[in-house]
Amino acid sequence: MSRVSTTSGPVDQAVERLRTVCAGAVETLSASGAGVSVLVQGGQYSLLTGADAASERLEEMQFVLGEGPCVDATATGRPVLVSDLEHEAPGRWPLYAPAMREAGIRAIFAFPLQVGAARLGALDVFRVRPGPLSRAELIRAFQCTDEAVSILLALQSPATIPEPFPRDEAGADLVELFQAQGMVMVQLDGTLSEAMARIRAYAYAENQRLIDVVRDIVERRLRFAKDE
């Protein structure tokens, strides 16, 4: 779970407040988990926080696999409401949907965090039982979304969130992530997108957390070859 020191600055305080929003979503929406993902410069995603460690792990899977409801909700600016993963279209999330089902998740609801055309990220709600959100639950979910947006707007400009968020146990510090991405790009003699795809694929294949793979790359304990 994200760490907040006793001498926390504005970003750390925002992390704590967003964690509280996620915990409130879990309690009031009869959910098993909730997390917030934030969009930063260059279209990259950085896990910010979740209601608990389990929620953060579920949220991180979207970055490891490069697909999921958060990605779709942020891209379209519309909620993604999946009341039963068993009946989700097979081609929508070919990797993410099976991974969530294996983790015991049966329903996922993603709500975009945005102000006008400014895309900030998404709030994701996870349930271990299938079924849609009721009208009252939808209203509460949108209230949680508004709370998260207000927290982010108080922290940064609504058009972008350019500064790296603090390192935590669930997600890589953006500085480390971009450093690892650049190192792998050089190793592969490829593009940044190819480097990120290889990092995600390795984390998934080895069942490792993205943060651990990134730090292995930065500390030169892990290196990629072009012909692998």
Domain boundaries, the chain: 10-155, 174-218
Coil/strand/helix, residue 120: strand
CA distances from 150 to 17, 47, 120, 145, 164 (A): 10, 18, 11, 9, 19
At 131 the pLDDT is 95
Coil/strand/helix, residue 187: helix
20/113 Cα distance (integer angstroms): 16
Q: Does the model's pTM come out above 0.85?
A: no
Which residue in this structure is represented by tokens 């058009």? 159
Residue among 22, 11, 27, 33 nearest 113 (CA) = 22
Q: What is the pLDDT along the chain (228 residues), one digit of tens a residue?
A: 333 333 346 667 788 899 999 999 999 999 999 999 887 555 555 556 889 989 988 988 887 777 889 888 988 889 999 999 988 766 889 889 999 999 999 999 999 998 766 778 899 999 999 999 999 999 999 999 989 988 887 765 433 333 333 344 334 455 677 678 778 888 888 876 678 778 877 887 788 877 788 889 989 999 998 776
Give start and end residues of each alpha helix (H) in 66-169: 69-76, 96-102, 135-155
Tell the CATH topology of 10-155.
Beta-Lactamase (3.30.450)
Torsion of CA 50, 32, 88, 117, to 10 degrees: -30
Which residue in this structure is represented by tokens 């603090």? 166
From first CA to last CA, the distance across the chain in angstroms is: 34
